[in-house]
Amino acid sequence: MGLIYRRAAEADKPAMLALAAAIDPDDYLPWVIDGYLKERPGGFYVTEGEDGRLLALASITFIRPGQAFLRAMRVHPEAQGHGVGTEFTRFQVEEAERLGARAVRLLTAESNLAVRRLAGEKLGFRLRGRWSTWWESLSPTLPADGRPAHVRAATADEAEAVDAIFRESQARCACPGVFADSEELAEMFAFDPDPAARPLDEAVAAGHVLVHDGDGPGRGRGPDGLAIVTPSTDWDNGPSLSVTYMWGGPPARLDFLRHLAGEVRSARVRGIQLSLPADQTEALESLEVAWHPEDRRPWYGRLYEKIFGGEVS
Ligand SMILES: CC(C)(COP(=O)(O)OP(=O)(O)OC[C@H]1O[C@@H](n2cnc3c(N)ncnc32)[C@H](O)[C@@H]1OP(=O)(O)O)[C@@H](O)C(=O)NCCC(=O)NCCS
């Protein structure tokens, strides 16, 4: 296609913002563009048509040394569908590698068929996993029967048992990383599993791991579900809880939901930000409770990666 790519400069800002607004007037770009423009290595890149008008923009960031993340690609609406996005992504991959990347990753909405096609099929990215996130202010349809007795914070002396449940759940889950709140999805991406590490220990010590004590046939054999719930502050809503993992059978999940609804009703928090592996959200959706009203559907995303020459450390 013969496009020429260059690093964007401060002077490109108005045209970049105009291009983004032409696609989506509520684009988040105005909030982040100054930071993205200054980043090194990486930063913002642009490409222009023969008439000098801006055709597309995209950013590269390094989450850790050697681990690049591609983000904020925008192709002018009139130029979409002609291969610009594919070519620009190919350039980004080469540029990231030139800048020292050993892994290049990106996150896109499940509904973004163009990015799924260009990354997952045309440019050889591997689908690392699916993720989901949404905000829940209140769950009016959940039973108002107080906190379920089966849900409690895990204690430090249970750290080993918690770790065992966590590993079991990871083995059965298409989880791209460990756990991350919705602001940190890119960081989660750069997580490298260390078989010796016990990533939950800190959360257990802080009292952020909830466990569910089963009362079925396995009663007495220890917890049968776990959820990671951290106090946080939502930009729009103030005090909230960030739920980054929820695993267990339907009774455990239902009790976790009741517990969280109780937290919201207690008015200590305004709502709950859920950021979960997609299959954990799908398991919640399949429960026989209307957990979220029709107009608040989870956002599902796909995480893609390309590793150059072996292991990433
Ligand atoms: C997503 C985007 C960057 C893709 O750029 P583009 O220049 O239109 O993409 P391409 O022309 O290279 O198309 C890539 C492939 O996806 C296919 N494709 C494009 N739109 C599609 C759609 N709506 N449904 C299914 N496939 C689609 C193309 O046919 C092409 O595959 P092909 O070569 O086999 O025909 C561009 O559409 C865009 O700016 N969208 C809005 C912002 C956005 O979503 N950014 C990405 C955030 S992760």
Domains of the chain: 5-101 (3.40.630.30), 134-301 (3.40.630.30)
pLDDT of residue 95: 98
Give the number of the atom of ligand 1 that is nearest the alpha carbon of residue 76: 39
**Percent of the chain scoring above 90 in pLDDT:** 53
Encoding tokens for residue 43?
């930063």
How far is ligand 1, taken at its centre, from the CA of residue 71, in Å? 14
pLDDT of residue 136: 77
Pick the most confident of 67-81, 130-144, 157-171, 181-195: 67-81
Pick the most confident of 29-33, 62-66, 170-174: 29-33
Q: Above 80 in pLDDT, residue 124?
A: yes
**Which residue has its alpha carbon closest to ligand 1 atom 25?**
113
Give the number of the atom of ligand 1 that is nearest the alpha carbon of residue 86: 12
Beta strands in the chain (DSSP E): 5-7, 43-48, 54-64, 67-75, 103-109, 126-136, 151-153, 209-213, 223-234, 238-248, 271-277, 299-307
Which CB contacts under 8 angstroms, 24+ apart, belong to 113-119? 114/80, 114/81, 114/85, 115/73, 115/85, 116/302, 118/85, 118/86, 118/89, 119/89, 119/304
pLDDT of residue 12: 97
Encoding tokens for residue 299?
């956002």
Q: Above 90 in pLDDT, residue 176?
A: no
**Which residue has its alpha carbon closest to ligand 1 atom 34?**
117
How far is ligand 1, taken at its centre, from the CA of residue 117, in Å? 7
* Contact (Cβ atoms closer than 8 angstroms) between residue 188 and residue 126: no
Encoding tokens for residue 32?
């982040």
- Mutation test residue for ligand 1: of 16, 17, 75, 105, the one with most atoms within 8 Å of CB: 75
The residue among 201 and 37 whose pLDDT is bigger is 37
Integer Cα distance of 112 and 301 in angstroms: 9
Q: Above 80 in pLDDT, residue 117?
A: yes
**Which residue has its alpha carbon closest to ligand 1 atom 2?**
85
